[in-house]
Amino acid sequence: MDRFDALQLFTRIVELGSFTGAASALDIPRATATHAIKELEARVGARLLERTTRQVRPTLDGQAFYERSKRVLQDLEDAETSLSTQVANPRGTLRLDLHGTHATMIILPRIGEFRERYPHIDLVVSSGDRLVDLVGEGIDCVVRAGRPRDSSLVARRLADMPEVLCASPEYLAAHGTPQHPSELAEHVGVGFFSRNSDNRYPFTLTVDGEVQEFKARGWISVSDAECYTSAALAGCGLVQVPRFRVEEHLHAGRLVQVLAQWPCPDLPVSALYPFHRQLAPRVRVFVDWVAGLYVERFGPLGGVA
């Protein structure tokens, strides 16, 4: 097994946590995989993997070697595909990081269609609300809501999502329903913060044609979209969320929209990827495909992304 094949095997073992799974994915015997990793560890002079009866995981040296190996393999794939017929039929491993709600409600329910269209692209998908270091973690593309702040990334706007301000009937019965945005200061809001900062995001409403911020009191803050909705359902306070995430709860009466005559500004959602990935065919076709999903769900963009 040559060095690049050994690197590919090693990264698969780390990602799958299994020699057997990696060998099966690469269509090689497990004994061949075991021998190749022993040769690789001997060549680099370090133990790369810890083996237990239940799983395989990288050592500290192995984790560092894994990060470097991913970048080497991605650069090799990019060099090959940018100059070959694979541009029309892309292949390789595409590493994605998707905002949790967008993964479960929009993208993953349709991901089989992407596989049918591009059968030679394998996906490695991580999910959550945290910000990721695309270059450092070897991520090809992320899908995130909010206005992009990292100017080093290429951003493609996918949609502008309508938002609503809402609370549970139990909260409104106990605290009253605000009749004007100025009353929000006397209400309780569920805080939402980024794990990378201590900022609590205020509510934003359009008043007299201008977007204004309003802060509410609060006793609970979360950093996860699902927890944010759950806190609202539990009566912990007001929340501001994309309508599609709570549409079912609004229809069922579990949540009630407030201050509808002062609309929330739309929340943009974008696909972000490093500059050096913009020519990679596997990234290009995914971004084009996922953009189509968002047009179907939210309609075409009204302005320039």
Higher pLDDT, 51 or 251: 251
Q: What is the mean pLDDT of residues 213-230?
A: 91
Do 94 and 22 reside in the same domain of the chain? Answer: no
Do 130 and 8 reside in the same domain of the chain? Answer: no
**Gap between the Cα atoms of 150 and 241, Å rounded:** 23
Answer for the pair 96, 286: CB distance below 8 angstroms, yes or no. yes
Compute CA 154 distance to the chain's CA centroid, rounded to the nearest angstrom.
16
Q: How many CB atoms lie within 10 A of CB 84?
A: 12
Do 153 and 239 reside in the same domain of the chain? Answer: no
And the tokens for 233? Answer: 């359902």
User: Is position 79 within any domain?
Assistant: no
Do 233 and 177 reside in the same domain of the chain? Answer: yes
Could you give the C-alpha distances from 8 to 3, 52, 293, in angstroms and in order?
A: 9, 21, 31
Whether 254 has a pLDDT exceeding 60, the answer reads yes
Whether 135 has a pLDDT exceeding 50, the answer reads yes
Do 152 and 171 reside in the same domain of the chain? Answer: no
pLDDT score for 225: 86
Do 255 and 218 reside in the same domain of the chain? Answer: yes
User: Is position 136 within any domain?
Assistant: yes
pLDDT score for 304: 41
Cα dihedral sign, 181-187-192-198: positive
**Gap between the Cα atoms of 172 and 258, Å rounded:** 10
User: Is position 78 within any domain?
Assistant: no
pLDDT score for 55: 82
Do 134 and 278 reside in the same domain of the chain? Answer: yes
Tokens 């090693």 belong to residue: 10
Tell me which of 127-136, 211-220, 289-298 is least confident. Answer: 127-136
At residue 144's C-alpha, the angle toward residues 138 and 146, to 5°, is 135
Whether 134 has a pLDDT exceeding 70, the answer reads no
Whether 86 has a pLDDT exceeding 60, the answer reads no
User: Is position 75 within any domain?
Assistant: no
pLDDT score for 78: 66
Q: What percent of the chain has pLDDT over 90?
A: 62
Domain holding 48: CATH number? Answer: 1.10.10.10
Residue 187: closest CA among 216, 165, 224 = 216
Whether 147 has a pLDDT exceeding 80, the answer reads yes
Confidence band, pLDDT 50/70/90 cuts, at residue 105: very high
Whether 23 has a pLDDT exceeding 50, the answer reads yes
Q: Which residues pair with 123 in a beta bridge?
A: 94
Do 31 and 107 reside in the same domain of the chain? Answer: no
Do 153 and 277 reside in the same domain of the chain? Answer: yes
Do 25 and 155 reside in the same domain of the chain? Answer: no
Tell me which of 39-53, 73-87, 165-179, 226-240 is least confident. Answer: 73-87
Residue 127: partners with Cβ closer than 8 Å, 6 or more residues away: 97, 98, 99, 100, 103, 104
**CB burial readout 158-188, b (16+ within 10 A) else e:** bbbbebbbbbbeebbeeeeebeebeebeebb
**Residue-range definition of the domain harbouring residue 13:** 1-70
Q: How many CB atoms lie within 10 A of CB 140?
A: 23
Q: Which of 20-24, 214-218, 234-238, 271-275 holds the top average pLDDT?
A: 234-238
Do 130 and 194 reside in the same domain of the chain? Answer: no
Whether 106 has a pLDDT exceeding 70, the answer reads yes
Domain holding 253: CATH number? Answer: 3.40.190.10
- Report the interhelical angle of 3-16 vs 60-82 (nearest 10°): 120
Report the chain's mean pLDDT, rounded to a whole number: 88
The total of structural domains in the chain comes to 3
pLDDT score for 65: 93
Confidence band, pLDDT 50/70/90 cuts, at residue 261: very high
- Supply the pTM of this predicted model: 0.69
Q: Would you call 122 exposed, middle or buried from its count of C-beta atoms within 10 A (0-12, 13-18, 19+)?
A: middle
User: Is position 76 within any domain?
Assistant: no
